[in-house]
Amino acid sequence: MAISRRKFLNMLTIGSTACLALLSPITSWAAWASDAFNATSPDDAYKNLFGSTDTVDSDEVKLKVPKIAENGGAVPVSVKTDLKDVESITIFVKDNPQPLTATFQISAKTIPDISTRIRLAQTSTVTAVIKAGGKLYSKSQEVKVTIGGCGG
């Protein structure tokens, strides 16, 4: 079955428009998060991501990270909570060149439990921040690094 040139161009136009419409939210989110990820101080990263540096230290935030990391290039981190209305889980490393390490948007029907690996340039404090119900809850732990993972 042959397709006419007019029908082909029409399908191409509709397909291209659909693709651009789907990609727009991704690029706008990337621009929004860019300032936070490029910040060089923890306070700037907090302000750019959350609009505030005010967090409440909470035992409701369960941060699991080793106290000593043999290699800072791949340090396992797990964060979970039983808090209600969790919007995001974010990981900061105080002494990394760019402190904001990862942020995860949590939908309403998702269990707020994440695991990942992060890089640590040197011995530093790892902080997990959970945004829930419009408030910021955190838990921190120092990790000693024997071999740094953020080389230039």
**Rounded to 5, what percent of the chain is helix, strand, coil?**
30, 35, 35
Average pLDDT over the chain, rounded to an integer: 85
Contacts of 8 (CB under 8 A, 6+ apart): none
Mean pLDDT of 26-55: 80
Q: Could you tell me the pLDDT band of residue 31, with boundaries at 50, 70 and 90?
A: low
Say what the pTM is: 0.76
Residue 117: DSSP 8-state: E
pLDDT at position 86 is: 95
59-106 confidence digits (pLDDT tens):
999 999 999 998 888 899 999 999 999 999 999 999 999 999 999 999
Token pair in block for residue 64 = 């699991």
| Domains assigned to the chain | 39-145 (2.60.40.2470)
